[in-house]
Amino acid sequence: MRLIVATFLLVFQVAQAQQLPNFSVLAEKNEPAVVNISTTRKYAETRRLVPRNFGLPDEFDKGPMGELFRHFFDEQGSGTWPTPESHSLGSGFIISSDGYIVTNHHVITEADEIIVRLNDRSELEAKLIGSDPRSDIALLKIDSTGLPVVTLGDSSRLKVGEWVLAIGSPFGFDHTVTAGIVSAIQRSLPSDSYVPFIQTDVAINPGNSGGPLINLDGEVVGVNSQIVSGSGGYMGLSFAIPIDLAMDVVNQLKSSGRVTRGWLGVLIQEVTRELAESFKMDKPKGALVSKVLPGSPADKGGIETGDIILEFESHAIEWHNDLPPLVGKFGVGKSAQVKVLRNGRLKTLKIKIGELPADEIVADADKVAPTDKSRMGLVVGELSPQSAERLGIKEGVEVEQIKSGPAAAAGMRRGDVITSVNQQPVSSVDDFIKKIDAMLPGGSVAFLVQRASGPIYIAVRLSKNEP
């Protein structure tokens, strides 16, 4: 009996082992095309330690240290201190046999010299073809031929739970291999509106940046870019740029040296449960427009403040972060169908997409002023001329005092200017009070609030025991 049980356990363990992927073949196939990247940044000039014609005191001119003092503090005052060079370290991978290499923008930014170390430990200086900070992708070129290359995959086919492999140089340890699974796809990070990141639990550390993320078919599906960490090291969350997006950037950099993106020209924020209720929606979804930039494609196409964008070119917008990547990759100059919810009714607008300006205003109101979610205790006054001029508005009421209650809990601040209540403009304090008195206790009210940092919608749930 014991023999039978032991045999069964052995067979079970072997079967389990056979189900696990063999990463050695993948590593062996891709390692030759993964490179180490180091950069040097030289400061503009050396720094003079003392003014010109500064005389060296006699007591410092004698003794065993005299020569050292004379070297740095000579009587002509020409002594200088050598300024240091800064070095950064990262990874990259070869995409063509004639030397084109993909890495991260943050690996090579402000570098005066970029050195690529190949798998055979030879080193070559690289030329920067182009770099795009918004996607964190850079394209390099080394003068060589016959180089090993990676096989590019299709990141749109990635699924959560799929095994993936990373190769890079964490802390300078070349060709380190780590593995894990895809934890989430199309993940949006606060600092990167235009990249739908691949989230994994693959161990990524400083030096891995720019290296490939590889699937079980040996294809590169992402470019390892960043981690979320409280310690500076890996804590189970790592993020990669989808290879489809990366190669679109690479092709634009190669052909024109710059990257163009679609632009709508709106500030958006998340639709919370309280906001959804105030807008008479069944459930929270879409991107709430808190501001339409004057003269923008959205302005010209008829999008209004308070619209909730539900679809962009038939792509459903479940989360507000879904919108920027869709607009960004849409063709500049082409027209897109945008479905919005306005005053409880669906409207389809045709918007001619513009090109994202270099000095783009932050397109996400959540980044401008995050608020607490929750359930009116505030004192308002007439809008002062100073506040109207400062904020560029004509009417509204100014929050003069916040008391303990629903408004404070929802994130309203002293100095906020309320310009609309449930999408109805507020012209005065009396107008504001009338609108609030008409609200039913226990319901949610959507306030459009103007702040120095930008406009934002705040949902306040009125207390049920209010008169």
Q: Which of 155, 169, 193, 209 is catalytic?
A: 209
Contact 317, 285 (CB under 8 A): yes
CA–CA separation, 92 and 101 (whole Å): 6
| Residue 282 designated active-site | no
Q: Return all residues near 199 (Cβ < 8 A) that are at least 6 apart.
A: 182, 183, 184, 185, 187, 237, 238, 239
Q: Could you give the 3-state DSSP secondary structure of residue 36?
A: strand
Which of 120, 106, 354 has its CA nearest to residue 241?
A: 106
Q: Which of 78, 106, 175, 335 is catalytic?
A: 106
Sign of CA dihedral 235, 237, 243, 246: negative
CA–CA separation, 133 and 99 (whole Å): 22
Q: Return all residues near 314 (Cβ < 8 A) that are at least 6 apart.
A: 337
Contact 164, 182 (CB under 8 A): yes
| Residue 174 designated active-site | no
| Residue 209 designated active-site | yes
Q: Which of 88, 131, 132, 136 is catalytic?
A: 136
Query: What is the maximal distance between C-alpha atoms in the chain?
Result: 97
CA geometry: angle at 176 spanning 174 and 182, to 5°?
Answer: 140
Which residues belong to the active site?
Answer: 106, 136, 209
